[in-house]
Amino acid sequence: MREPPDASQAPRFTGPRTFGRLPYTTDLVDVDAAIYGMPWDGSTSFRSGARFGPEAVRSASSLLRPYNPVAQVQVFGAVSTIDYGDAPTVPGYVEETLTRIEAFVDPLVERGVVGVGVGGDHSVALAELRALAKRHGPLGVVQLDSHTDLWDLYFDKPLSHGTVFRRAVEEGIIDPGRVLQAGMRGPLYGASDVDVPRELGVEMVPWIELAELSPAEFGELARGRVGAGPAFLSFDVDFVDPAFCPGTGTPEVGGPTSFQALGYLRALTGIEFVGYDVVEVAPPYDSAQITALLAANVVFEMLSLVAQAAR
Amino acid sequence: MREPPDASQAPRFTGPRTFGRLPYTTDLVDVDAAIYGMPWDGSTSFRSGARFGPEAVRSASSLLRPYNPVAQVQVFGAVSTIDYGDAPTVPGYVEETLTRIEAFVDPLVERGVVGVGVGGDHSVALAELRALAKRHGPLGVVQLDSHTDLWDLYFDKPLSHGTVFRRAVEEGIIDPGRVLQAGMRGPLYGASDVDVPRELGVEMVPWIELAELSPAEFGELARGRVGAGPAFLSFDVDFVDPAFCPGTGTPEVGGPTSFQALGYLRALTGIEFVGYDVVEVAPPYDSAQITALLAANVVFEMLSLVAQAAR
Amino acid sequence: MREPPDASQAPRFTGPRTFGRLPYTTDLVDVDAAIYGMPWDGSTSFRSGARFGPEAVRSASSLLRPYNPVAQVQVFGAVSTIDYGDAPTVPGYVEETLTRIEAFVDPLVERGVVGVGVGGDHSVALAELRALAKRHGPLGVVQLDSHTDLWDLYFDKPLSHGTVFRRAVEEGIIDPGRVLQAGMRGPLYGASDVDVPRELGVEMVPWIELAELSPAEFGELARGRVGAGPAFLSFDVDFVDPAFCPGTGTPEVGGPTSFQALGYLRALTGIEFVGYDVVEVAPPYDSAQITALLAANVVFEMLSLVAQAAR
Amino acid sequence: MREPPDASQAPRFTGPRTFGRLPYTTDLVDVDAAIYGMPWDGSTSFRSGARFGPEAVRSASSLLRPYNPVAQVQVFGAVSTIDYGDAPTVPGYVEETLTRIEAFVDPLVERGVVGVGVGGDHSVALAELRALAKRHGPLGVVQLDSHTDLWDLYFDKPLSHGTVFRRAVEEGIIDPGRVLQAGMRGPLYGASDVDVPRELGVEMVPWIELAELSPAEFGELARGRVGAGPAFLSFDVDFVDPAFCPGTGTPEVGGPTSFQALGYLRALTGIEFVGYDVVEVAPPYDSAQITALLAANVVFEMLSLVAQAAR
Amino acid sequence: MREPPDASQAPRFTGPRTFGRLPYTTDLVDVDAAIYGMPWDGSTSFRSGARFGPEAVRSASSLLRPYNPVAQVQVFGAVSTIDYGDAPTVPGYVEETLTRIEAFVDPLVERGVVGVGVGGDHSVALAELRALAKRHGPLGVVQLDSHTDLWDLYFDKPLSHGTVFRRAVEEGIIDPGRVLQAGMRGPLYGASDVDVPRELGVEMVPWIELAELSPAEFGELARGRVGAGPAFLSFDVDFVDPAFCPGTGTPEVGGPTSFQALGYLRALTGIEFVGYDVVEVAPPYDSAQITALLAANVVFEMLSLVAQAAR
Amino acid sequence: MREPPDASQAPRFTGPRTFGRLPYTTDLVDVDAAIYGMPWDGSTSFRSGARFGPEAVRSASSLLRPYNPVAQVQVFGAVSTIDYGDAPTVPGYVEETLTRIEAFVDPLVERGVVGVGVGGDHSVALAELRALAKRHGPLGVVQLDSHTDLWDLYFDKPLSHGTVFRRAVEEGIIDPGRVLQAGMRGPLYGASDVDVPRELGVEMVPWIELAELSPAEFGELARGRVGAGPAFLSFDVDFVDPAFCPGTGTPEVGGPTSFQALGYLRALTGIEFVGYDVVEVAPPYDSAQITALLAANVVFEMLSLVAQAAR
């Protein structure tokens, strides 16, 4: 069992920062879940800095403890978890970077270890989905985000944090009929943008509508949309209002509180998630680590879903 | 048609920062709306810094796109809009400063261009109202704010960000019977302060009561109060809780979220607003531009009201 | 009558910062209430910095005015209040520090002056409770906090900000049957942690349940639990979501807004509070003073309870 | 003897912040020197914020101890010193503000108490010089600054932090033949600006030349220029390079280190200074209090000059 | 004559931020010099953020005035100068980005307008040198920097801010025999790194040696090395110690002060510079704009060299 | 050979932060040197936060490379070095903390591994010296610091960051005749403080005198004072001016630049140092990691001394 050291022996602020104070190793024997970083911010369309997202989330995650009293589930000590380190990235070269991230994630997928990626701008999800689809086929997706990331080209180029899910649809690695996006808000380029998700076969719930749903209703909606079969859960921290997540690259005001965000997340039981990520944590814009701390708790809730699924 | 450049050709972080990446010009031909700054913080009673409000809002407004999916209205591309620059101000001399701001705003009023001012401490509203009243007569007002700004004298002097609407009533440039103030909270100097709005003929809804109203109910209330005729919409960012708007001079805790604030704002359709402002953005106290970004979105919602009125 | 100077004569940003601009004195003649600081952060289990909490709250409290329009009660000018200064503390020596804080608070208790302490990490509450229990016997407690602070030992040592209320129960200075803790959230060390409050005889309402209660319902719950007799009200700023209170040592995401927090606080009328504190304000992590400003307003609401009780 | 409390009894971070932890009083009996604040930033031509300069310098001055080992002189305990509080100021009204500052300083001058003012933007010096000249006649001046502050009008108005010493020359309250300005640097409006000091009869040493002088040489130069008779020492923190003093309104890069600045200051023995000030401390732009801490030490060096003169 | 507006009419903090408050235009008629931005940070090997360098330098450059009293030369008003805007860049695609920057700079080179580029990470210099070499042939270079930027490959890829001058040598667009690099410091990958410049035919002066040279001696060295013929001056802000330039991506401690840096720069008269840049300004890490302000002054010194050459 | 991974394979910002990207292990086989943290700030007399010093120095140390071109010595790859993790500490209990740190350091001393400790406030040095003296007997000391840390009691208690070297003298674990302290500055409690070092038999060179010495002269002085035999080198980052090291608890203005500090450090060859530390790094007050980066380079210079001694 891979788990954090006993926090009653030394304060949680001691020792090199690994995620949740977990062992840092690439040995996958007897491992159920692995946290890994994707330090890349080359594809963001506004503020950079997310290459330090994994470091910041590791730092804040020192505050986590092993048991989830809301989900009533033991996480650390029940789900054998490691810090798998960071994918190598290549500043300035997005295609090469995605190739290396995919290769980095491959062993986890092959061994059936549930990966939880920490970004990094959202473009990294393409690499994760490619790795997962090689084993699982086209995936269902639940995406909590303020943007659909379904734009086509940015500056005539295909890879961007704003185009990642369109690329994934085109590559056939996600199944649009099993995709649910929720939380979208903020101005768009034009009225036709509203129709893009539907045109691609994706279901999109804007924040103005999601705000009317209870967590339980959202959980139902997600289970109904994703159905049976392997799926991916992607949490972009800009889903949450910038008061709670200032440390991100393309914030959109008027969003959910962190309490609401955790509620929606906790409702996502009963879906066969084979991979997770938390992206767009940009520490240079964070305040008192609050974004990183929320991201660390999102990872913890994802691990709680793993633990609940294993019960 | 004055509008921003195509954001698919160059990233939104390129180029000198004008509001919304709009053309910076004082040429008013074929212009429907103009954003302008009022960089003045000499009249604030606590934290200064709002003289850099216009710069900060311009910077954050790079993130805006042209279409409003909640109001379902095209803004940029439909409402011909410019960045009209900043009013000249005179540090240390409030009276002279208000005179210069008024003269700066006059051409907009004369040409019937809808102005959206960005402050600057709230004292600048007096200059704007003077300019507008010369053409429109006494104005109705909707003011979203945590303070009434109806105090009489500060340190025996008449001009302050805390006295601006009392001065406007006295000068006959606003019609108290058509004024609605909402969002007030925080300790007062004494019990008699509570009665001041009523004594002046102004309607005031404290935040503790507004919090019980839906946006639609608030919209009804405002339309009923302001009635027909020209009106002014003034949004002081300290209306919003300081978690969402830390960058302001006299914050009051326990206020609305930015989601609530946008909701109230969007409900203000059907009123004949001839001028708007967003004030009290104090960047030295902002965190990750979140205050400036909210202010930029408030401007965008105001322009959306302009667009809706034109439909 | 001890009260602040007239704010219409000189701006609130003038003069050395005492709490609420009140007189700084240790003369207790004709004094109803006293604010004092406990600058100690030696017992925090994560981020330090709370030793500057009293300074920061004093600074932010300049913005307070004398009248509470929600409670409809005059505070300054009605409750004779002073700034009593700071307890001496001894960096590195928690036991000695608690001894000195207790001796510092003793004169207030002896004279029947209601004290409102400003921390400092939560361990300081033990000193306050010891001082109060000498006169009042075992106290009831209302604790708004994200943690129970009922752990037993940290690193084999008894005194910590995480163990303070267990120690108080053991010392017999609080009556567990009259203790209500509310707001708890975040991961725990294990499932057994959930049962600790009940085992000690304390009532604990986690945030996920409190969020379902209106302020009035919470007030009822508290009055029922605490009953008649002297009680203590302890407000740990980490009760509030870190978006509203980033400046604290062990933040927990997904908590109440400041509007909710003030609501719960205002509902606590009708309880015989003989002492109050606001703790865990850690200014190095604050943003634009928002944590300190909320803490200052919490003190103001506590003084409002004093004023209401005196009516 | 007015002096700070014994720092071996309670940490220096305890208690309301007065300058140097000195008694806060307006009682001038048996007082040799008085520190006072001038919280005004209405006349600054760029970044505001200096209204919080006195608060920040008080906070940082907690770190001061009583003895100066370089000057080998006892300060606190030898020079009876108080914190005299802050002058009232009137936001938005520079003329009224200067009148009130002058009236606030008058009692010190009348009683022969040496005042050390803490600003506030440099315009406040005019008020101090007016008060001093009423008793002492035209004063000599040593000004360490990166700007001459000898411009004529700003935006057609006479009072600004950039015009203060020209106004003082015109009012006859300083004697240009006994004025030495040093440290000037940065671009000018035109070649003719270089000649302004000489035209007004003032001696100006630009930083590029001062940098070649040892402290002792500078001391000689100053004594030679100022000669016998009462003089004023004005230290604008923008004299120092912004790496050492980021917290100021109009920084100029490429300036002295704080070590050099202290050296020049310590060399100014043997001049009959009857007043001192340290201005342009703008805390919103400070980093880790380093500007405020330097300013506090500048005050301490000024008090050391008082102590040395009294020996 | 293109020049800034008269700063005596409106404060320098008014108006959209163009460089030095100059006209923003791409019209090159009657233009001597043009400032332009290159908002790209995709190739940095450590901290990103330099994509906002142009915005930050524009903001800080408001403080510049037209005359240089050290060089005794009129700049604005003598050298007709514009803000040429920002090159388009393509996040994630370094090769495409360099192509677009080169095309953006081409018109300046073709018209003989002296360009001063503001970065952006140092990789952008390759685009500038390509544009310049098309007209001027292989260029001489003076590079003030803490790194040689002569490494070969990073992660098997050729384009990086650490490889830019090696690429330029290989492409034949700079003449290694006319290149002088100065200021290098910090640990290296191995002893062989020390020999790289010499192996490539470039002269490199480490900071430990440069620190022994006066500005005049350095000027002699540079003139001797570069000789006659067109040259490029590249100033990486990490040349300066991070106390003076914290806002950069790969800081190296123990470097020059800003006073020293300006001295070396001012000594570079008599060289035929046909292009300039200031790079690696990363605003998210800046403190109180001090890095941006130094960079703005470096641009001003470069324009002063242009003015001196034109005399 | 324990060394960092090849930085040409993955960017230095990838992976959990260990010191210098070294292996994190407690296995001491084939290890020459070990970096370890002492996260304790309970004994600081002013600003806390140094408990996060080890984390911050690890983070900044990612920028280090293996070769020292000034000392012309290979460090990583020549000196087998590990990250040994952090000593357990006990918040609030200084005596217990020192006991645990000593026990943590013991194995290094026993195995003859050279330890480089990263603090933490300076009180931790007592634990290190106790561990070293058990094997080596009374040690010589070179201390670069702005304070002597020779005070007797703080608040009647013996252990403080200000008393640590007096305690070490009293315990006989350092030999005052072989102690050299340098860099002292700032006000003192009284004239008698100046004599304390001499009375204890320690040599102290104040900064005002050290500033006159070249690095070579300082090296001579140190070698002469310490002589033969084992010694300890302690570097308190407040030795350096706060412009270069803002992130510390008790800064003293007017100190050395980082260039000067590195010069003095590099001169300390030829002394038999058996242990090193760098202390008082307080990240909450740091700016853009500049303090942590300097501290990381100080560690690197210490390892360079180890490498040079091994040659």
Residue identified by tokens 């501290």 is F295
Whether the complex's predicted ipTM is more than 0.90 is answered with yes
The answer to whether residue E24 scores a pLDDT higher than 90 is: yes
When pLDDT is averaged across residues B199-209 and rounded to a whole number, the result is: 98
Distance CA F124, CA C92 (A): 12
Is B262 within 8 Å of A254 when comparing Cβ atoms? Answer: yes
For position A140, what pLDDT does the model report? 98
CB contact, 8 Å: F51 with chain C?
yes
- Write out the two tokens for A103: 């290769």
When pLDDT is averaged across residues C10-20 and rounded to a whole number, the result is: 96
For position D178, what pLDDT does the model report? 98
Q: Give yes or no for a contact between E16 and E96, defined as CB atoms under 8 angstroms apart.
A: no
Q: Assign residue C279 a region: left if phi > 0, alpha if psi is -120 to 50, beta otherwise?
A: beta
The answer to whether residue C105 scores a pLDDT higher than 80 is: yes
Distances (CA, A) of B123 to B100, B130, B138, D49: 13, 12, 18, 18
Residue identified by tokens 């006659």 is E228
Q: How much is the pTM?
A: 0.98
Distance CA F202, CA A297 (A): 52
When pLDDT is averaged across residues D204-228 and rounded to a whole number, the result is: 98
For position C7, what pLDDT does the model report? 78
Distance CA B249, CA B53 (A): 11
- Could you tell me which chain A residue has the CA closest to the CA of C191? A67
For position E35, what pLDDT does the model report? 98
For position C9, what pLDDT does the model report? 85
Distance in Å, alpha carbon of A82 to nearest chain F alpha carbon: 12
For position F6, what pLDDT does the model report? 84
Q: Specify the pairing of strand A114-119 against strand A272-279.
A: parallel
CB contact, 8 Å: E160 with chain B?
no
For position E223, what pLDDT does the model report? 98
Is C55 within 8 Å of D59 when comparing Cβ atoms? Answer: yes
CB contact, 8 Å: C48 with chain A?
no
CB contact, 8 Å: B283 with chain C?
no
Nearest to F236 by CA among F284, F267, F268, F280: F280
Is A8 within 8 Å of C153 when comparing Cβ atoms? Answer: yes
pLDDT band, very low/low/confident/very high, at A9 (cuts 50, 70, 90): confident
For position E9, what pLDDT does the model report? 85
For F28-50, write each residue's pLDDT tens digit: 999 999 999 999 999 999 999 99
| F42 contacts on C by Cβ (under 8 Å) | 42, 91-92
Q: In the structure, do chain B and chain D come into contact, i.e. share 3 or more CB pairs under 8 Å?
A: yes
Neighbouring CB atoms inside 10 A of F212's CB total: 9
For position D52, what pLDDT does the model report? 98
pLDDT band, very low/low/confident/very high, at D6 (cuts 50, 70, 90): confident
For position C309, what pLDDT does the model report? 95
Report the residue count for chain B.
311
**Dihedral (Cα; E187, E190, E191, E196), 10-degree rounding:** -90
Distances (CA, A) of A256 to A111, A225, B101, C148: 36, 22, 38, 27
For position F51, what pLDDT does the model report? 98
For position F108, what pLDDT does the model report? 98
When pLDDT is averaged across residues C177-186 and rounded to a whole number, the result is: 98
For position A7, what pLDDT does the model report? 77
For D15-54, write each residue's pLDDT tens digit: 999 999 999 999 999 999 999 999 999 999 999 999 999 9
CB contact, 8 Å: B107 with chain C?
no
**Which residues fall within 8 angstroms of residue E19, CB to CB, at 6 or more apart?**
B16, E35, E57, E58, E61, E83, E118, E296, E299
Mean pLDDT of chain A: 97
Q: Give yes or no for a contact between C79 and C35, defined as CB atoms under 8 angstroms apart.
A: no
For position C285, what pLDDT does the model report? 98
Start-to-end Cα distance in chain F: 16
When pLDDT is averaged across residues B20-41 and rounded to a whole number, the result is: 97
Residues 171-200 of F with CB under 8 A from D: 185-191, 193-194
| E251 contacts on F by Cβ (under 8 Å) | 63, 288-290, 293
Q: Specify the pairing of strand B67-68 against strand A174-184.
A: unpaired
pLDDT band, very low/low/confident/very high, at B6 (cuts 50, 70, 90): confident
Is C8 within 8 Å of B154 when comparing Cβ atoms? Answer: yes
pLDDT band, very low/low/confident/very high, at E133 (cuts 50, 70, 90): very high
CB contact, 8 Å: A83 with chain F?
yes
When pLDDT is averaged across residues A285-302 and rounded to a whole number, the result is: 98
The answer to whether residue A306 scores a pLDDT higher than 90 is: yes
For position C74, what pLDDT does the model report? 97
For D126-165, write each residue's pLDDT tens digit: 999 999 999 999 999 999 999 999 999 989 999 999 999 9
Which residue of D22, D74, D235, D287 to mutate against F (max F Cβ within 10 Å)?
D287
Distance in Å, alpha carbon of C215 to nearest chain F alpha carbon: 36
Residues of chain F with pLDDT under 70: none
The answer to whether residue B149 scores a pLDDT higher than 80 is: yes
Query: How is A116-156 classified by DSSP, letter by letter?
Result: EEEESSTTHHHHHHHHHHHHH-SEEEEEE-SS------BTT
When pLDDT is averaged across residues A71-77 and rounded to a whole number, the result is: 97
Which percentage of chain E shows pLDDT scores above 70? 100
The answer to whether residue A311 scores a pLDDT higher than 90 is: no
pLDDT band, very low/low/confident/very high, at C311 (cuts 50, 70, 90): confident
- Give φ, ψ of D170 to 5 degrees: -60, -35
CB contact, 8 Å: B5 with chain E?
no
When pLDDT is averaged across residues B143-160 and rounded to a whole number, the result is: 95
Is C90 within 8 Å of F154 when comparing Cβ atoms? Answer: yes
Which residue of B193, B248, B253 to mutate against C (max C Cβ within 10 Å)?
B253
Chain F: partners with 3+ C-beta pairs within 8 Å: A, C, D, E
For position D11, what pLDDT does the model report? 95
pLDDT band, very low/low/confident/very high, at C144 (cuts 50, 70, 90): very high
Distance in Å, alpha carbon of B88 to nearest chain E alpha carbon: 5
For position A8, what pLDDT does the model report? 80
Consecutive H or E run containing D218: helix D215-226
pLDDT band, very low/low/confident/very high, at E23 (cuts 50, 70, 90): very high
Q: Give yes or no for a contact between F239 and F250, defined as CB atoms under 8 angstroms apart.
A: no
For position E227, what pLDDT does the model report? 97
Q: Specify the pairing of strand D174-184 against strand D273-279.
A: unpaired
Nearest to C42 by CA among A58, F286, D8, F157: F157
For E167-225, write each residue's pLDDT tens digit: 999 999 999 999 999 999 999 999 999 999 999 999 999 999 999 999 999 999 999 99
- Could you tell me which chain F residue has the CA closest to the CA of D66? F189
Neighbouring CB atoms inside 10 A of D29's CB total: 8
For position A102, what pLDDT does the model report? 98
For D248-280, write each residue's pLDDT tens digit: 999 999 999 999 999 999 999 999 999 999 999
Neighbouring CB atoms inside 10 A of B86's CB total: 25
The answer to whether residue D65 scores a pLDDT higher than 90 is: yes
For position F113, what pLDDT does the model report? 98
- Could you tell me which chain E residue has the CA closest to the CA of B59? E55
For position F9, what pLDDT does the model report? 85
Q: Give yes or no for a contact between F296 and F61, defined as CB atoms under 8 angstroms apart.
A: yes
Nearest to A92 by CA among E158, E206, C254: E158
CB contact, 8 Å: A154 with chain B?
yes
Query: How is F267-294 classified by DSSP, letter by letter?
Result: T-TTSEEEEEEEE---GGG-STTHHHHH
pLDDT band, very low/low/confident/very high, at C168 (cuts 50, 70, 90): very high
- Give φ, ψ of A191 to 5 degrees: -60, -30
The answer to whether residue B8 scores a pLDDT higher than 90 is: no
When pLDDT is averaged across residues D292-310 and rounded to a whole number, the result is: 97
Is F46 within 8 Å of D297 when comparing Cβ atoms? Answer: no
When pLDDT is averaged across residues A220-226 and rounded to a whole number, the result is: 98
Q: Give yes or no for a contact between B298 and B61, defined as CB atoms under 8 angstroms apart.
A: no
